[in-house]
Structure 1
């Protein structure tokens, strides 16, 4: 059994020089190692289009076999391309991916893209969170219904976590560095898209838990599924 991950930087294994920045896929293996190995093909900057163009999708499919799981989470970079609009190019590419995973004998699991931490200005400042992914999460939910494909709604879940923690406490889930604090970002960094180790672990815990809830991963075979859930 294998869990193969397709996605962008919010899923990917980040370069070591960017530590503690991390995608949630980098923190999934310790939670599911007793059930199946994690193969993370996600890449920073990837869209549903570039992931295929760069050969990453072909590499993933070559590894996929009967009974394996393939999680698919895109949207952040598709959103930047007009021809990959949610209900046109993006939806069409996801449909094709689901079909190809099934043709390989594996099981597709769609994930809505994780939300960015964009609280709106003005009181009550901790209560209003921008819907930065527009209709991309809705399209994933609709495709899940239409294609009979399981969906892990990470967008709704991350939104609920940020709102529960509030503006200040949710900041620790992301990468914020003062000038001189991090060698790779000497001028400082205020990044509300890419997770810290804590944020990545939190999301990975939710993914593992949802795989249990969906019936793909027996609870007794998941190691510490609630680790880091907060």
Structure 2
């Protein structure tokens, strides 16, 4: 079984010059899901539309065979395009992606978008509107498994607090990072510390959904 990832920068592996910025998909293997091959097609700036237009979705589907898991997480950049509104283009594109994966014999797993770290007067803001709700509703309607990263990351940030949650994100003072010499306070993209925590949670959720090592060995024994 393979695990194939479709998503944006919060999932993608980042270029070396941006280290230690990272998406969670870069740490799903070998650190957390070492026994399954993980193919990460996620790309910074991607939407449910551009991912197909740029050929990344075709590449992913070309590698998908019976029983492979395809994890899909978009929303951050769809939110910036009026025609990709939650109950318009976004929903339609997700439905098409699900159908494509199922036609290949793969197993689509929808992921709600990870939350941004935006606090107002000590309270964590909801920055993604209806995008997470649409994913939950679509999974329920189509009988799909869903990993609710929006709910979980919100709980994580709130547990750590406004100050403590900074360590999960890409914050550097001037002079601390060669690529961002002037400093950076990024509350969307993760420091590898944050990306690794999310990857561990994704792996745990896959195990609880029955896609762990034991399940794969059982399938292999029947072949």
Shorter-chain TM-score bucket reads over 0.9
TM-score, normalised via structure 2 length: 0.95
1:191 Cα shift? 0.2
**Any stretches of 5+ residues in structure 1 without a counterpart?**
222-230
TM-score, normalised via structure 1 length: 0.92
Match of 2:34 in 1: 33
Whether 2:188 is the aligned partner of 1:193: answer yes
Match of 1:94 in 2: 94
Match of 1:45 in 2: 45
Match of 2:173 in 1: 178
1:219 Cα shift? 6.2
1:75 Cα shift? 0.1
Match of 1:54 in 2: 54
Q: For the structure 1 residues 19 and 68, does the alpha-carbon distance in structure 2 shift closer, same or farther, using more than 3 Å as the test?
A: same
SS of the equivalent of 1:194 reads strand
In 2, the alpha carbon distance for the partners of 1:96 and 1:41 equals 17
CA deviations 1:128-183 (Å, max 9, x no partner) are: 11100000000000000011111000000000000000011100000001111101
CA deviations 1:28-81 (Å, max 9, x no partner) are: 0121122x1000000000000000000000000000000100000000000000
In 2, the alpha carbon distance for the partners of 1:156 and 1:215 equals 21
Tell me the matched-pair count. Answer: 215
RMSD: 1.1
SS of the equivalent of 1:156 reads helix
Match of 1:225 in 2: none
SS of the equivalent of 1:44 reads coil
Q: How does 1:60-139 map to 2 (within 5 A)?
A: 60-120=60-120, 122=121, 125=122, 128-139=123-134
**Runs of 4+ residues over 3 Å off in structure 1:** 218-221
